[in-house]
Amino acid sequence: KQEVTQIPAALSVPEGENLVLNCSFTDSAIYNLQWFRQDPGKGLTSLLLIQSSQREQTSGRLNASLDKSSGRSTLYIAASQPGDSATYLCAVINDYKLSFGAGTTVTVRA
Amino acid sequence: EAGVTQFPSHSVIEKGQTVTLRCDPISGHDNLYWYRRVMGKEIKFLLHFVKESKQDESGMPNNRFLAERTGGTYSTLKVQPAELEDSGVYFCASSQGRGRYTFGSGTRLTVV
């Protein structure tokens, strides 16, 4: 059974600081890994999808890395802004099924 | 491209009543999924459709939950009779193969 852990559970930083969010998973036989963002009371917004053959994926200020062998992924957000405040969820894909971590709740202080 | 649409966005029902949630996936996505988050827990898988067929329903909590996807288009998730522990947010998602998963905004179900 796939277990996904996200550390830290919460993070508060001043505006402009870089964010580092960690995700670990127990079963390295994943197909893909996807990072999502969830704003309070809203749905999940896809941020980045990393295929198992990839090491990283970038979109604007976001960069996600994947190390399958060690069961880890890291989401980097450069030059954080108050609008980046949200909960960030990591999900690994095994055989069509997503396994989610509990998320990291980020607060960026202006 | 229209996203995944879910309704209602909120539903408050009494214990013992029936509720039906609906999901319209992205057009052309054969794969449709239901997930839910109950208070304080991670988002958990409920089931997976490929077109109109149930591919995996291992996450369905019990036989009070019934999901259908008639004609391989929209899907419904019925809870009958609802219990207090069914309260939570129910998410629907769709994908083309095992590519990017797109989620709807969710239905917040409160059973009182």
pLDDT category at B72 given cuts 50, 70, 90 is: confident
Cross-chain residue pair A42–B105, CB shorter than 8 Å: yes
Cross-chain residue pair A98–B101, CB shorter than 8 Å: yes
pLDDT at A45 exceeding the cut of 80 = yes
Which of B46, B58, B91, B98 best probes binding to A when mutated, by most A CB atoms within 10 angstroms? Answer: B98
Largest CA-CA distance found in chain B, in angstroms, rounded: 38
Q: Residue type for B34, please?
A: W
- Is the CB of residue A85 less than 8 Å from the CB of residue A107? yes
CA distance B61 to B33: 15
pLDDT at B8 exceeding the cut of 90 = yes
pLDDT category at A1 given cuts 50, 70, 90 is: confident
DSSP state string for chain B: ----EEE-SEEEE-TT--EEEEEE--TT--EEEEEEE-TTS--EEEEEEETTEEEE-TT--STTEEEE-GGGS-EEEEESS--GGG-EEEEEEEESTTS--EE---EEEEE-
Average pLDDT over residues B10-37: 97
- Is the CB of residue B14 less than 8 Å from the CB of residue B112? yes
- How do A62-67 and B65-68 pair as beta strands? unpaired
Cross-chain residue pair B45–A32, CB shorter than 8 Å: no
Reduce the DSSP state of residue A2 to 3 states and report it: coil
Distance of residue A96 Cα from the nearest chain B Cα, in angstroms: 6
Question: What whole-number percentage of chain A has pLDDT above 90?
Answer: 88
Question: What whole-number percentage of chain B has pLDDT above 90?
Answer: 88
pLDDT at A105: 97
CA distance B35 to A98: 9
Question: What whole-number percentage of chain B has pLDDT above 70?
Answer: 99
Burial of B84 (0-12, 13-18, 19+ CB in 10 A): exposed
CA distance B27 to B13: 31
Q: What is the 3-state secondary structure (H, E, C) of B48-61?
A: EEECCEEEECCCCC
pLDDT at A12: 96
pLDDT at B89 exceeding the cut of 80 = yes
Q: Which residues of B touch A (CB under 8 A)?
A: 6, 31, 33, 35, 41-45, 48, 55-56, 91, 93, 95, 98-106, 108
- Is the CB of residue B29 less than 8 Å from the CB of residue B48? no
Q: Which residues of A touch B (CB under 8 A)?
A: 4, 31-32, 34, 36, 41-46, 49, 89, 91, 93, 96-103
pLDDT at B1: 63
